[in-house]
Amino acid sequence: MILKNGEHVIGLFQGVFEKNKLTFNRGQDSNANKLGGFTDVRELQRKLKSKVCNC
């Protein structure tokens, strides 16, 4: 099930994944249109981890 309220979109899936997951649509807006530029969430994760710990 996909829930959309304005620009906010949440997908609910049962039995699709083994565990709970949080996902992001890279480079797309809430209508699946390509963005001109964006920061990939994986790059943000690397930067945060490097500042918090030596993971």
The vertex-23 CA angle with 35 and 51, nearest 5°, equals: 90
- Residues 26 and 43: their CA atoms lie apart, in Å, by 12
Start-to-end CA distance of the chain, whole Å, equals 35
Query: Of all residues in the chain, what percent carry a pLDDT higher than 70?
Result: 96
Predicted pLDDT of residue 54: 63
CA-angle at 40, arms to 34 and 41, nearest 5°? 125
Could you read off the pLDDT of 23-39 as tens digits, one per residue? 777 788 888 899 898 88
pTM comes to 0.47
What integer best gives the mean pLDDT of the chain? 84
pLDDT of residue 55: 58
The predicted structure's pLDDT at residue 6: 86
